[in-house]
């Protein structure tokens, strides 16, 4: 504010517009609860493990249900009732890539980007089911312009511009530890995207939901921009969600260890609820069942199916809000003299919301287990755990497993890892079954080969 007097009219106007966007009713509470204090979400007195569907049916009755669900899912996809939705508004600070994370080149042979792979996935599923699956993409002010440029330059990856709906999420102001709103520049408040939970509001506010209704879309396949293994359009997941009349459903993994850093699916007052790894008491994390498995074994991997009607229901009336989470961060800003500061230590608080906090608001919710090696390889870090290198290797490993399932011989090293670099384009196969129909197009794979099936 201090500098507003010295700003030219257009910058003054931009600042005033930014201020007008602030939620003055809520800010004082946020400062008290989350900025000056480490307020956290009320922890439930009692919680149980959440029930889930296993990756493969375990009984004859379940097998029958899976079969029906798969068929129903396929019918709904073919009838044009399903859309893809990626949340891509994050800052990607850990990866440190210059540009939107979706533009990160990830595929093992062709170095296709994440956006490119997702687009090919949707195109392939559209072709397979004789329909057009539109794609909704949430960005943030940090990367909206660049994302549009990427899609323009790529010709919307062949999806047709009219089938790609790119919209921005909201932002929240950044604070110093005393509760003052930080300024990014003389004419701008420091803000950050309001978390992936912001998607549930932004879908509605942006007109994406209206667009979906216009197209007859009823189910939204939600995924994150960092996971190239995600099975974008999954008939079984869709079918189970619809058969069980769920409003928001999730895929889960069996955790690799009791303290794995993923949210835990629990049941609180009969509602599926995610309890963060940092909040789950050790006693619960290590608790085991009679067979030795973890009592709280289901980890959240940010793959959801969301009914369009659920997003509408949440937003109608205007009062919908997800719980706020606080994150202590290094926040660049200007000081009282207008000098830019690049802090070396965390200097303030960012606020965000998480999409899984909407799960308990759903009347019903399904959890379907999936396998890590089949569906979860997020690119988060520059090196080490969850790095691009690990993801790429998992893409090769999955391709090798699919080829072997289809009866193709894959050379392996003594330690069991594939002795070749493999890439299966989504247009070539979306599932191992698709490969079986194309065996005549798969060459002999020799040790050290680089093979692209596209």
Distances (CA, A) of 136 to 17, 133, 187, 313, 452: 27, 10, 31, 19, 28
Any contact of residue 230 with ligand UTP (CB under 6 A)? no
Distance CA 246, CA 248 (A): 6
Question: 325-329 and 348-352: which strand pairing?
Answer: antiparallel
Which residue among 73, 80, 84, 92 contacts ligand UTP (CB under 6 A)?
92
Distance CA 322, CA 357 (A): 6
Any contact of residue 193 with ligand UTP (CB under 6 A)? yes
Any contact of residue 132 with ligand UTP (CB under 6 A)? no
Whose Cβ is closer to ligand UTP: residue 141's or residue 411's?
Answer: 141
Which residue among 35, 50, 225, 229 contacts ligand UTP (CB under 6 A)?
225
Q: Are 222 and 176 in contact (CB under 8 A)?
A: no
Q: Are 136 and 311 in contact (CB under 8 A)?
A: no
**Minimum distance from residue 261 beta carbon to ligand UTP (Å):** 11
Any contact of residue 284 with ligand UTP (CB under 6 A)? no
**Minimum distance from residue 403 beta carbon to ligand UTP (Å):** 29
**Minimum distance from residue 438 beta carbon to ligand UTP (Å):** 31
3 state SS of 113: strand
Write down how long the chain is: 454
Among positions 299-358, residues that touch ligand UTP (CB under 6 A) are: 352
Whose Cβ is closer to ligand UTP: residue 206's or residue 420's?
Answer: 206
Whose Cβ is closer to ligand UTP: residue 79's or residue 382's?
Answer: 382
Q: Are 305 and 222 in contact (CB under 8 A)?
A: yes
Distance CA 79, CA 130 (A): 9
3 state SS of 307: strand
CB atoms within 10 A of CB 268: 18
- The string of DSSP codes covering 348-383 is EEEEE--GGGGGGGSS---EEE--HHHH-----BSS
Whose Cβ is closer to ligand UTP: residue 166's or residue 445's?
Answer: 166
Any contact of residue 387 with ligand UTP (CB under 6 A)? no
Total interface residues for ligand UTP by CB under 6 A: 22
Query: Among 61-69, 194-202, 212-220, 282-290, which window interacts with ligand UTP (CB under 6 A)?
Result: 194-202
Any contact of residue 263 with ligand UTP (CB under 6 A)? no
Any contact of residue 88 with ligand UTP (CB under 6 A)? yes
Query: Among 14-22, 146-154, 195-203, 232-240, which window interacts with ligand UTP (CB under 6 A)?
Result: 195-203
Contacts with ligand UTP by CB under 6 A lie at: 87-95, 138, 140, 169, 193-196, 198, 224-226, 352, 380
């Amino acid at each position: 504010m201090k500098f507003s007097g010295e700003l030219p009219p257009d910058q003054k106007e931009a600042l005033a517009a930014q201020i007008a966007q602030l939620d003055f009713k809520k800010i004082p509470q946020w400062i008290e609860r989350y900025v000056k204090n480490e307020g956290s979400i009320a922890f439930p007195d009692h919680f149980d493990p959440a029930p889930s569907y296993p990756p493969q049916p375990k009984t004859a009755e379940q097998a029958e249900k899976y079969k029906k669900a798969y068929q129903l899912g396929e019918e709904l996809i073919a009838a044009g009732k399903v859309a893809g939705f990626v949340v891509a508004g994050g800052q990607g600070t850990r990866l440190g890539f210059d540009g939107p994370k979706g533009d990160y080149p990830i595929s093992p042979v062709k170095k296709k980007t994440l956006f490119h792979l997702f687009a090919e996935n949707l195109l392939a599923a559209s072709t397979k089911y004789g329909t057009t699956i539109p794609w909704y993409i949430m960005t943030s002010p940090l990367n909206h312009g660049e994302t549009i440029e990427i899609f323009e330059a790529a010709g919307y990856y062949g999806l047709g511009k009219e089938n790609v709906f790119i919209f921005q999420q909201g932002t929240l102001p950044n604070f110093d530890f005393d509760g003052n709103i930080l300024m990014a520049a003389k004419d701008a408040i420091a803000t950050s995207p309001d978390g992936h939970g912001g998607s549930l509001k932004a879908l509605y506010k942006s007109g994406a939901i209206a667009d979906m209704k216009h197209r007859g879309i009823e189910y939204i396949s939600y995924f994150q921009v960092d996971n190239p293994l995600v099975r974008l359009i999954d008939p079984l997941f869709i079918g189970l969600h619809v058969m069980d009349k769920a409003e928001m459903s999730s895929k889960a993994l069996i955790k690799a260890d009791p303290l794995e850093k993923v949210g835990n699916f629990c049941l609180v007052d009969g509602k599926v609820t995610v309890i963060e790894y940092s909040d789950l008491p050790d006693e619960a994390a290590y608790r085991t069942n009679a067979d030795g498995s973890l009592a709280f074994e289901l980890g959240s991997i940010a793959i959801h199916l969301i009914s369009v009607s659920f997003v509408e229901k949440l937003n109608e009336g205007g009062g919908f809000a997800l719980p706020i989470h606080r994150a202590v961060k290094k926040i660049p800003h200007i000081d009282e003299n207008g000098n830019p500061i690049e802090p070396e230590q965390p200097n303030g608080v960012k606020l965000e919301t998480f999409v899984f906090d909407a799960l308990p608001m759903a009347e019903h919710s399904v959890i379907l287990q999936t396998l890590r090696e089949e569906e979860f390889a997020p690119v988060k870090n520059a090196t080490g755990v969850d790095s691009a290198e690990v993801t790429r290797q998992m893409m090769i490993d999955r391709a090798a497993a699919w080829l072997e399932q289809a009866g193709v011989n894959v050379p392996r090293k003594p330690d069991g890892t594939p002795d070749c670099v493999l890439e299966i384009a989504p247009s070539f196969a979306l599932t191992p079954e698709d490969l079986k129909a194309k065996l005549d197009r798969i060459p002999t794979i020799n040790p050290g080969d680089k093979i692209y099936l596209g």
